[in-house]
Structure 1
Amino acid sequence: MKKRVYHWQPELSTTIIYWSCTFGILFLSLILMLEHTRPYLVSNIVLGVFFFFALLGLNRYFILKDDQLIIHALLPIRRKKIKVQTIEAIFVGPKSIKIISSEFKEGSQLYIMTKKTKVAFISQIETMLLDHVLIHEDPNQKAGKQ
């Protein structure tokens, strides 16, 4: 099976805070560039910090391998390997999916995904599970915690 990567973002409030701070660094770099008429070392360093955080923020993804769901998160502490058999249900909303598993501290996790990525992820996990997991369509599911 081809290794496929499915990108995700955390629930809405965390995503907004992270990307607001990241773009704040970009705007600070642009302001520093306006202060000087030639290339300025400090503004270039701050621009490099922005690119670092932007790449770090895009480094969140799922990988489905054999019988595991690998959740690659921003911090190494939050990265998880979940056995597919422990997933009890998946709720699919318009902009997000909610995975219910006994391996999560809170019992479930919410992930924001694009429509195309979400459809590809659900179709691959359905072929892996073969009726083990209940996948529910939930049009009322929000992108943030209720």
Structure 2
Amino acid sequence: MRDKFHWRLELAYAIIYWSFTYSFLFLGLILSLEKAHLNWRSLVAFVVFFSLIVIDRRRFIQFTDNQMKLSYGNYWKKVAITYQACEKVEVFVDALLIHHQTKKTLLYFSEKEKEKMLLYLEKMYPGKIIYHANKYDQS
């Protein structure tokens, strides 16, 4: 079983990230419309825009047979957590908090992704899942 579930940034960071990303799209469009054809400046802006989209799509959690792999978008930061090392998983309305080896990993999911992923979590972690009816409070 190898399924990927894409997680998101926190809302404030997501707004900043996507504003930055779309600014390169609009910059590329403006630069290409100035000359009425594609020039190298507009191509650079489009390449930066598409590379930021690819980086966002690399942010996922993947379940394999004996571990879950967390990818943070950049190519050098990946974490593999074995199922035995995970102590508990807390499910909030807007987030998922994974406790493993004295660390906490907080992941935000859309509602649709979270519902699909909870089916896998219930199979992998019977008795380790704690459900909360409120949003995650960082204090």
Q: Same fold (TM over 0.5)?
A: yes
CA contact (8 A) 1:26 1:50 kept: yes
Judge conservation of contact 1:10–1:110 (CA < 8 Å) in 2. Answer: no
Cα distance, 1:61 vs structure 2: 0.9
After TM superposition, list the pairs within 5 Å mapping 1:72-87 onto structure 2: 72-87=71-86
TM-score by length of 1: 0.82
Q: CA–CA distance in 2 between the matches of 1:94 and 1:30?
A: 38
Matched, 1:114 2:138: no
Shift of 1:129: 2.5
How many aligned residue pairs are there? 139
Q: Distance in 2 between matches of 1:128 and 1:89?
A: 11
Q: C-alpha displacement at 1:95, in angstroms?
A: 2.4
In the TM superposition, what whole-angstrom CA distance separates every residue of 1:85-140 from its partner, at most 9, and x where no partner exists? 2222222222221112226xxx2121111112112212112112232x1x222232
* Paired residues of 2:58 and 2:74 also in contact (CA < 8 A): no
Which position in structure 2 is the counterpart of 1:65? 64
- Asked if structure 2 preserves the Cα contact closer than 8 Å seen for 1:91 and 1:97, the reply is yes
* 1:27-70 deviation per Cα after TM superposition (whole angstroms, max 9, x unaligned): 21122123222232321221122011111111111111122111
Work out the CA distance in 2 between the residues paired with 1:24 and 1:145: 30
Higher RCO (CA < 8 A, seq sep 6+): 1
- In structure 1, distance between residues paired with 2:83 and 2:31: 49
- Taking every aligned residue pair, what percent have the same amino acid on both sides? 27
Q: Write the mapping of 1:1-146 to structure 2, written as runs, cut at 5 A.
A: 2-102=1-101, 107-131=103-127, 133=128, 135-142=129-136, 145-146=138-139
Counterpart amino acid of 2:104? S
* Counterpart residue type for residue 4 of structure 1: D
Structure 1: runs of 5+ lacking an equivalent: none
Residue identity matched to 1:14: Y
TM-score normalised over the length of structure 2? 0.86
Unaligned regions of 5+ residues in structure 2, if any? none
- Report the 3-state secondary structure (helix = DSSP H, G, I; strand = E; otherwise coil) of the residue aligned with 1:81: strand
Which amino acid in 1 is paired with 2:134? N
Please give the alpha-carbon distance, in whole angstroms, between the structure 2 residues aligned to 1:38 and 1:108. 50
C-alpha separation in 2, matches of 1:15 and 1:145: 17
